[in-house]
Structure 1
């Protein structure tokens, strides 16, 4: 079995709308921290100099959003109410695990440019591939946006689904849709420009808004989709981190290919 990493790193040195703060306690600082905590919580005195090289364990502290790096959006990210079920969307820690280990299909949309991907473009790709996704398949959108990851352009130059294209995938039984772009929707500037020109509220983050009427999850900020050897015939593992009550959770998404 071959594994392909489909995840982008969480990197404090990269451009981010919400900056990542990453502070590291060195092994020496970790020893001092451990001894102070033992004294404070357990009444135990211990001299860090008794440890090899006066070191214990390093410790990383991070401040970031759950939408940094490769992550899975939960239904509760799309709004506080739904028109399905009991009207209350589920958080990421309540989603069924079997959604996130499924056969995958990757759609080559690298010619899409910046803006929206419509039903016609999705149908054209299905025709090229020669099949549609089966129910519960994980569909991945290869837009090529990950080539700009770590730069400001990553957040302004990419393509996202419009409402009808999102509904098409959900009508086929897909429950997890992934993209290598910053968002499953088009860039903020593109959305607002089209809204100001048309006055049509349906262009406002339609892929996310569909999540208020249909239960599904998005994987955003994937990477390396171009390394997948075929449009299908692989599995995707993308289990989200179980953050209680959260609208998203990070994932180390991986493609599994039987050689």
Structure 2
């Protein structure tokens, strides 16, 4: 597949923001070229650090773990909607208006949403924009199989209504994408989460091809 490759992965470092209550990333040098002839580092992160995929087992007791996700299900045509000029919660009406401006059919599997992401040097608890439950239902009703956001969560409510709706209906969730330099439009999406056996999520490398 030819085209321009755009990396939309948020890198992981000790300064990467995490969801309130999640482990803060730790990176330590274990060996060095000067002393050992080679460099090795130890990293300690939560499964939902940086750009990551939420597995169904994140909220569903008997849901599949991230290693059970078929890689092909996280690939496909994508539409990226730029909602950064809006304010407040993202509603179904806002999604509908922006989506219709592309006159797209209903056969695009991946929906990406760009907002004015709030960032800090450590723990992030507040999000400037988030998906309402009506927006979540709109996404499901339009047949998307993957939803990706540049915020740390597709929810703002502790009950996680959108997580529940999406994962119960086999809609993959990709969070904390780096979309600030991506222009609204159509792309080909590839997301490959780490194959961490038995885990509820994993960091991922995500690219777009234009």
Q: TM-score, normalised by structure 1?
A: 0.72
Larger strand fraction of residues: 2
CA root-mean-square deviation: 2.2
| 2:111 aligned partner | 139
| 2:84 aligned partner | 110
| 1:156 aligned partner | 126
| 1:25 aligned partner | 30
Is 1:245 matched with 2:198? yes
| 2:37 aligned partner | 56
| 2:188 aligned partner | 235
Q: Please state whether the residue corresponding to 2:112 is helix, strand or coil.
A: strand
Is 1:130 matched with 2:103? yes
Shift of 1:149: 2.7
1:82-112 Cα offsets, whole Å, 9 max, x none, are xxxxxx3211111111111211111111134
| 2:164 aligned partner | 209
Is 1:98 matched with 2:63? no
Shift of 1:15: 4.5
Larger radius of gyration: 1
State whether residues 78 and 211 of structure 1, in contact with CA within 8 Å, keep that contact through their aligned partners in structure 2. Answer: no
Give ranges in structure 1 of 5+ residues lacking alignment.
Answer: 29-52, 81-87, 193-203
State whether residues 138 and 177 of structure 1, in contact with CA within 8 Å, keep that contact through their aligned partners in structure 2. Answer: yes
Give, in whole Å, the separation in 1 of the partners of 2:185 and 2:70.
25
State whether residues 24 and 122 of structure 2, in contact with CA within 8 Å, keep that contact through their aligned partners in structure 1. Answer: no
Q: 1:228 to 1:133 in 2, by over 3 A?
A: farther
Larger helix fraction of residues: 1
| 2:13 aligned partner | 11
Pairing 1:26-41 to 2, within 5 Å after superposition: 26-28=31-33
1:140-196 Cα offsets, whole Å, 9 max, x none, are 010120xx333468530332222232222222221110000111113xxxx37xxxx
Residues matched between the structures, number: 205
Q: Please state whether the residue corresponding to 1:25 is helix, strand or coil.
A: strand
